[in-house]
Structure formats: structure tokens, C-alpha cells
Amino acid sequence: MIYSLRGFVQELSPTFVVVEVNGVGYYVSVSLQTSQNLKLNSEVFIYIQQIIREDAHLLFGFFTKEEKEMFNLLISVNGVGPVSALILLSSLSLSDAANAI
């Protein structure tokens, strides 16, 4: 299980980042809040939640441990998947997301 990544921001968009670690680029889905804390070509440390499915290995990244914990709380709610959880984290503060649960 991947817990975190430290490397350089190779690509950056509002919904994903590619973090290069020792020559390997990791595609990581992120919330808008995490994306806004990152800068292209800068060093980054992000917490990772890895989700393994039959058809994909997905990485979700978070600038803070609290955001990662809230993501895990959200995906534990019946009917909320990882993409929906990222959308919620992109549009709500952590306290608002906690109140929504």
C-alpha cells in the first residue's frame, strides 16, 4: 500500500497531478484544495489513498492528513464513491463535509 509520495510536480490540473518519483510518474487524482496548494516543477509531499479495483489501481492524493481522513470517512458512507468524495472535498470545507456526514 502506498502511504505517501515525495517528488516533483510534473503535470498539474485542478483534478489531478503527476508526481515524478525517481523517474516514475504517478497519476494522482486530487481535490481542488490540494491542487491549489501545488506548483508545477516544485517538490511535493502528498498523502495517498490507494484504491485497488478489478480493472484499475487508483491513487488519490491529499495535501493534509485531515483531508485524507475526511476522504476515507466520506467513502465509508453508502453510495459515496471516491470520485464523489473528491467532488465533495473540492466544494466543501472539511468542517462542512463533516457536518454533511
- Does this model's pTM top 0.85? My answer is yes
> What's the mean pLDDT when you consider all of the chain?
92
pLDDT in tens, 50-84: 999 999 999 999 999 999 999 999 999 898 899 99
For the chain, give every domain's residue range: 4-100
CB 30 within 8 A of CB 62: yes
**pLDDT reported for residue 3:** 96
Core vs surface per residue 49-60: b (16+ CB within 10 A) or e: beeeeeeeeebb
Residue 101 or residue 60, greater confidence: 60
Q: Domain 4-100, what fold?
A: OB fold (Dihydrolipoamide Acetyltransferase, E2P) (2.40.50)
**pLDDT reported for residue 55:** 93
